[in-house]
Amino acid sequence: MSSLKYAVSIIMAFAVLLALALPVFAIQYSPGVTAGQYVKYGNFAGSGPGYEAFNDYSFLNLQVVSVSGNAVTLLSTGQFKNGTALPGNGTTDVWNIETGTDNGPPSTQGPIIAANLNQGDAIPPPNTYSVNQTADRTYLGTTRSVNILNVVVSTPDYNSTLNYVYDKLSGMLFESTSTTTTQAQPQPITSTYSYSIIETNIFGSTTPSPTVPEFNPQILALIATIISIIIISAVVLQRRTEGQLIGKS
């Protein structure tokens, strides 16, 4: 009976440790920006049907208007090279980086994601994409840690390859490229676009969000296995000791 109580006590203690540890290792989807910060895009280039207009873009500016919980409100302003305003100039969008929504509905590949994600971490909305790679890249003369998202979309009508690079510390998009090939007749047609950051005030001023360490689920399984072995060994040893005591008596 004492062996059973001993084993149960160890198991309960291990369960308590797991309950405390798992929330620590859970991914935290928190904004990494503050009101007043902005990213300005330029270097617009496009080719193929529907994308030639990118060549006429002068700039697009996204400014953080407010941050409320996990919702970030972005103001969009921009103009063509001829000075006229871009479509959507002066509009605001509320991006929730925890749920992956834009003004309510789910939206993938937005201009901002959660701060301090790591390679393999999911990017909301759920069951969509994950960070493919975390690496260091240089933007505007500053080396930044970035999260890279590569998306491949294949359908009977077209194939698309999209690449998004997000600043790890702020979560803001730094650059985007896309290549789409349609199965047109008499031959396929390929369209491309690209743009990248040309100005920002987030470098050196972004407040780091609490960093959540990467955690491999295999480590938890290994820990559980080790604890199980310890428990079994302790029970066997306890029973063997009790048997020896009974034999002597």
| Sequential pLDDT tens for the chain (249 residues) | 555 455 545 555 454 444 444 444 468 999 999 999 999 999 999 999 889 999 999 999 999 999 999 999 999 999 999 999 999 999 999 999 999 999 999 998 899 999 999 999 999 999 999 999 999 999 999 999 999 999 999 999 999 999 999 999 999 999 999 999 998 878 899 999 999 999 999 997 544 444 444 444 444 455 555 555 555 555 555 566 555 555 555
User: Looking at residue 242, what is its pLDDT?
Assistant: 58
**Domain boundaries in the chain?**
2-25+216-248, 38-200
Phi and psi at residue 247, in whole multiples of 5°? -65, -40
The whole-angstrom separation of Cα 168 and Cα 147 is 6
Residue 102 near residue 77 (C-beta atoms within 8 A): no
DSSP for the chain reads -HHHHHHHHHHHHHHHHHHHHHHHHS--------TT-EEEEEEEEEESTTTGGGGGEEEEEEEEEEEETTEEEEEEEEEETTSPBPTTTTEEEEEETTTTEESSSB-SS-SB--TT--TT-EESSTTSEE--EEEEEEETTEEEEEEEEEEEEE-SSEEEEEEEEEETTT-BEEEEEEEEEE--SSS-EEEEEEEEEEEES-TTTPPPPPPPPP--HHHHHHHHHHHHHHHHHHHHHHHHHHHHHHHH-
The whole-angstrom separation of Cα 223 and Cα 249 is 39
User: Looking at residue 21, what is its pLDDT?
Assistant: 43
User: Looking at residue 208, what is its pLDDT?
Assistant: 44
Cα distances (angstroms) measured from residue 218 to each of 28, 157, 215? 20, 40, 9
Tell me the average pLDDT of the chain: 83
Beta strand 173-182 with 189-200: parallel, antiparallel or unpaired? antiparallel
Query: Nearest-5° angle of CA 161, CA 166, CA 171?
Result: 140
User: Looking at residue 15, what is its pLDDT?
Assistant: 46
The whole-angstrom separation of Cα 14 and Cα 36 is 46
